[in-house]
Structures are given as structure tokens and as C-alpha cells.
């Protein structure tokens, strides 16, 4: 008999791990296949996907892509709910603003393109910060464990900040599972869970290694 479980996905953490590992794009179809593989071992009664919502006025293209992705996720045959909080923008520079600043400090014209490319590379053109996503996720997971509606809580993240929450979830008697990539995975988080599952890739896509 399969273990009943709820899956909690830290969308941003997973995205950045995929990016660092060179496994983007990872679209709704890829998530669907991942859920199918997990369903071999678990009865996925609930899936929660947490994401920082882009601002339509500050990043219209990014907002449109995100909305399209969320729509595709929602159409999967799994019981998935998307939960969001607004993304905080620390900087949102235009090329004109960079040009004006370069002029003000005396950077020669021949270096302007390299300056723009450098800022892009450093992630300074659109500098953002998530606020409250991890707190929302772990609060939901703790509440679900407290109600004892599921036997297991599966956390898709490599962020070690979740460890105190995982320890509390364990006290409520739920089985804890860390689903993660190799890159960006916290050893402390893996060790705090009853079980870990590593997401691997081959020419056919993703597969899971159970530990």
C-alpha cells in the first residue's frame, strides 16, 4: 500500500538549483513526469507549488511567462495548488538608466555594452528578493502534519533554513522526505528527514534515486 503524502515545492529554490545544474527549461510537462514517478511510491493527495509573483508593470515579459507556466501547471492531472506572494524588487534598471549613469561617471562609449552585459551577468539589472515564501510553505506543512491527514510530508527544496520546521513536523508524527537535486542541496536538511530522494537526469529526462 502506498504512503499518503503531500508534496511542498519551493519553486524558486528548485529553479535556481536547476539553473546551476544546467537543467533548464523545466516546464509543466517535466513536473508532470516527476509527479508520476513519485506516484510509484506515494499517494500524492496534495501538491503545493510556492512561487514569488512577478510584477506586471516592472517585468511584463517575466510576468506573462510566469502566468503561462502557472496555467500549464494547473492543468496537470494532479491535485496541485499554486500559492504566491509578491516578489520584492530591490532594483529594476533600464538600459537608459545605465547609459545615463555611465555618462555621469565618465565611462567611455566603447565600454557601455560591456557594462550592460556585466550587470546582466551579475543579476543586477533586475535585482529581486522573495519575502515570506519559505515561511508560508513551512507553516502549511506544519499545519498539515498537525492534523495528521497524511502519513508523509515531501519537501522539494535544498534550503537548510527549513530544518527547524522539519524537526517540528517530525514531532507531530509525520514521515519527512527531502526531494532534491545534488547541486545546492543542504546536508543538514537531508539528514534531518527520515528519507531523501535525489532527482537525477539522463537522456530520457528525470529519474529518482531513493536513499
Confidence at residue 87, expressed as pLDDT on a 0 to 100 scale: 79
State whether 68 and 8 are in the same domain.
yes
Residue 65: which pLDDT band, with cuts at 50, 70 and 90?
A: very high
Measure the CA–CA gap between 106 and 28, rounded to whole angstroms: 47
Domain boundary among 101, 129, 157: 129
Measure the CA–CA gap between 154 and 15, rounded to whole angstroms: 17
* pLDDT 10s digits, 6-58: 999 999 999 999 999 999 999 999 999 999 999 999 999 999 999 999 989 88
Domain total in the chain: 2
Q: How many CB atoms lie within 10 A of CB 4?
A: 15
Q: How far is CA 179 from CA 12, 171, 186, in A?
A: 14, 20, 11
Mean pLDDT of 138-158: 95
Q: Rounded to the nearest 10 degrees, what angle do helices 163-171 and 133-147 cross at? A: 10
What is the maximal distance between C-alpha atoms in the chain?
70
- Which is higher by pLDDT, 98 or 203? 203
- Which is higher by pLDDT, 210 or 108? 210
State whether 161 and 196 are in the same domain.
yes
State whether 70 and 142 are in the same domain.
yes
Confidence at residue 128, expressed as pLDDT on a 0 to 100 scale: 46
State whether 99 and 199 are in the same domain.
no
Q: Quick check: 196 and 190 in contact, CB under 8 A? A: yes
State whether 33 and 51 are in the same domain.
yes
Measure the CA–CA gap between 122 and 139, rounded to whole angstroms: 33
Work out the mean pLDDT of the chain and round it to a whole number: 87
**Degrees, nearest 5: CA angle 159-190-156:** 55
Domain boundary among 129, 159, 185: 129
State whether 72 and 52 are in the same domain.
yes
- Which is higher by pLDDT, 175 or 121? 175
Q: Quick check: 183 and 17 in contact, CB under 8 A? A: yes
Write out the DSSP string of 60-83.
Answer: HHHHHHHHHHHHHHHTSSS-EEEE
- Domain coverage including residue 99: 88-129
Q: Quick check: 183 and 210 in contact, CB under 8 A? A: no
Domain boundary among 74, 99, 129: 129
State whether 7 and 70 are in the same domain.
yes
CATH number, position 25:
3.40.50.1010
155 DSSP β-pair partners: 8, 178
Q: Quick check: 176 and 30 in contact, CB under 8 A? A: no
State whether 66 and 99 are in the same domain.
no
State whether 103 and 153 are in the same domain.
no
* 3-class secondary structure, 92: strand
Q: Quick check: 177 and 201 in contact, CB under 8 A? A: no
State whether 173 and 102 are in the same domain.
no
State whether 74 and 111 are in the same domain.
no
Instruction: Say which residues have a Cβ less than 8 Å from residue 146's Cβ, sequence separation at least 6.
Output: 172
Closest C-alpha to 129, from 184, 54, 189, 185: 54
* pLDDT 10s digits, 156-179: 999 999 999 999 999 999 999 999
State whether 106 and 153 are in the same domain.
no
Amino acid at each position: 500500500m502506498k504512503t499518503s503524502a503531500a508534496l511542498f515545492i519551493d519553486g524558486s529554490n528548485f529553479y535556481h538549483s536547476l539553473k546551476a545544474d544546467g537543467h533548464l527549461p523545466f516546464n509543466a510537462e517535466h513536473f508532470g513526469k516527476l509527479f508520476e514517478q513519485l506516484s510509484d511510491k506515494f499517494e500524492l493527495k496534495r501538491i503545493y507549488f510556492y512561487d514569488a509573483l512577478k510584477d506586471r508593470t516592472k517585468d511584463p515579459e517575466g510576468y506573462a511567462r510566469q502566468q503561462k507556466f502557472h496555467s500549464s501547471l494547473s492543468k496537470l492531472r494532479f491535485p496541485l495548488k499554486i500559492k504566491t506572494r509578491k516578489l520584492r524588487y530591490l532594483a529594476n534598471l533600464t538600459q537608459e538608466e545605465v547609459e545615463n549613469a555611465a555618462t555621469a561617471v565618465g565611462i567611455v562609449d566603447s565600454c557601455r555594452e560591456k557594462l550592460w552585459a556585466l550587470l546582466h551577468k551579475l543579476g543586477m539589472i533586475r535585482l529581486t528578493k522573495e519575502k515570506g515564501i519559505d515561511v508560508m510553505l513551512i507553516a502549511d506543512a506544519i499545519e498539515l502534519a498537525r492534523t495528521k491527514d497524511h502519513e508523509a510530508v515531501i519537501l522539494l527544496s535544498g534550503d537548510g533554513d527549513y530544518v527547524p520546521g522539519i524537526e517540528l513536523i517530525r514531532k507531530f508524527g509525520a514521515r519527512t522526505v527531502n526531494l532534491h537535486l545534488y547541486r545546492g542541496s543542504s546536508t543538514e536538511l537531508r539528514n534531518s528527514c527520515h528519507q531523501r530522494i535525489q532527482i537525477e537526469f539522463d537522456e530520457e529526462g528525470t529519474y529518482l534515486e531513493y536513499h
